[in-house]
Structure 1
Amino acid sequence: MADTSALDTPTDISSNAAKTVAQALNGILADSYALYLKTKNFHWHVSGPHFRDYHLMLDEQASAILATTDVIAERVRKTGNTTLRSIGDIARHQTIKDNDADFVKPEDMLKELRDDNLKLVEALREAKDIADAAKDNGTSAVIDEWTDAAEQRAWFLFEAANKG
């Protein structure tokens, strides 16, 4: 077994509390990667009369999701824990389902991504409660930003799919 003591980042958060925060964040990280890839998949495969608008919106959203992944992983490390290491590790932790369909109607893409972003919001709210219980103010504060961003993506996807 390898000596991982070099990765023991100092923190004032109790070991058990930090581990719980890290577990929640690693789940969010896995879901963020799953959501990123699904958003890019739909970006690459969207078609129809709103192609340009959807294509650009999905690309913007994918970029925003990917931008959070490094910050999430670094929060895990700041709690004295380790984070995801591979695609397999992501698959073991993700709760957002992949979509491997050959064809998905654009309106179904938008609805699925909206629901996935709202699922991520739920996980973020749970993680915030865990961070607050651990007195991890840094994680709690940044989760607010991630929650707002996911809510905004869900709102844009809802409005884009709205036929009213």
Structure 2
Amino acid sequence: MDIDIGIKAEDRKASANALMRLLADTYTLYLKTHGYHWNVEGPHFQQLHALFMQQYTEMWTASDELAERIRALGFYAPGSYAQMAKLASLSEEDGTPPDWKTMVKTLAKGHEHIAATARDVLRTAEAAGDDATADVVAPRVTLHEKTAWMLRATAS
């Protein structure tokens, strides 16, 4: 069926493509955070193990919401990590896990990066008149900025 939601096809495509990049970065940071949850060690183990679980759970839920918005715009969401890796601008973790403090700093940078990516999606959605995408993405900016701040404070 044709889609007629009041947004031109090319604008829906622009929003969906921007959302796919945000989804890929979110999914990459989700995987990194989950890996850190499994492998964190040190004097703050319990605190960080629980914190990382809270964070990866939130990103898992957000990934679903982002993918569903892509589908609502009439496009397919990336469905494999190979597709995600091609779209992501964040790098995945490779090799032996770092020490706890490096984990925290790396995640803070990741959340800052995703906040910036989400801002780009907002600009695209606003230009397209895509209020629903903006409504989905605006809280992501707030969440990732707050999470980055809390992680920076933890690493201090």
The TM-score bracket by the shorter chain reads over 0.9
Shift of 1:159: 1.1
Moved over 4 A (4+): none
Q: How many residues are matched?
A: 156
Match 1:121 to one of 115, 120, 133: 115
Give, in whole Å, the separation in 2 of the partners of 1:10 and 1:78. Answer: 11
Paired AA for residue 52 in structure 1: Q
Report the aligned-residue RMSD: 1.2
Identity %: 31
Paired AA for residue 147 in structure 1: V
Give, in whole Å, the separation in 2 of the partners of 1:10 and 1:72. Answer: 20
CA contact (8 A) 1:9 1:78 kept: no
- 1:17 matched to 2:3? The reply is no
CA contact (8 A) 1:13 1:135 kept: yes
Give, in whole Å, the separation in 1 of the partners of 2:74 and 2:6. Answer: 9
Q: TM-score, normalised by structure 2?
A: 0.95
CA contact (8 A) 2:36 2:97 kept: no
Paired AA for residue 28 in structure 1: L
The secondary structure found in structure 2 opposite 1:49 is coil
Segments of 5+ residues of structure 2 without an aligned counterpart are none
Give, in whole Å, the separation in 2 of the partners of 1:119 and 1:29. Answer: 13
Partner of 2:36: 42
Q: After alignment, is 151-160 or 23-32 more displaced?
A: 151-160
1:90-105 to 2 correspondences below 5 Å: 90-105=84-99
Shift of 1:98: 0.7
Q: After alignment, is 108-117 or 97-106 more displaced?
A: 97-106
Segments of 5+ residues of structure 1 without an aligned counterpart are 1-5
> Which whole-Å deviations, capped at 9, do the CAs of 1:4-50 have from their partners, x for residues lacking one?
xx6x5443211111101000000111111100000011111110011
The secondary structure found in structure 2 opposite 1:60 is helix
